Amino acid sequence: MATTRVAGIVVGMWKFKDVVGSETLAKVANGYKQANPGKYGQMLVRRCSKDQLAISFSYRLGDQHFKHFSDRMWTDLKRKFGDIFVGHDLTTDVWTIDDQPIA
């Protein structure tokens, strides 16, 4: 099975206390996707621990630096959610295995 390293992509999740609810997070994700056309790939709301939900995503950096994206999103999410936003797990070390979409 061949893999291909993908440059210029951030993959990760923003984590929240589950008191926020999945519908609220879906609206937040949709807002970011609409405000940044062509930048976000698939976005999902998922459970990431017993008491946390996350927005999982991929994002095309373009000319933007990873640290700028990470810092900007951290600041924005902390401003919107305060302590309900508990952190993130982000990386630019990404390899594709299969590019077939989930049906």
Residue spans per domain, the chain: 9-96
Mean pLDDT of the 58-70 span:
93
pTM of the predicted model as reported, rounded to 2 decimal places: 0.88
Predicted local distance difference test score (pLDDT) of residue 101: 60
Rounded-to-integer distance, Cα 103 and Cα 86, Å: 31
Predicted local distance difference test score (pLDDT) of residue 6: 84
Percent of the chain with pLDDT over 70: 93
Query: Position of tokens 């061949």?
Result: 2
CA 84 to chain centre: 16
Predicted local distance difference test score (pLDDT) of residue 62: 87
Q: Which residues contact 78 (CB under 8 A, 6 or more apart)?
A: 85
Domain 9-96, CATH number (from 3.30.410.10, 3.40.630.30, 3.20.20.70, 3.30.70.1710): 3.30.70.1710
Rounded-to-integer distance, Cα 33 and Cα 83, Å: 23
pLDDT at residue 98 tops 80: no
Predicted local distance difference test score (pLDDT) of residue 3: 82
Average pLDDT over the chain, rounded to an integer = 92
CA 32, 37, 41: angle at the middle one, nearest 5? 75
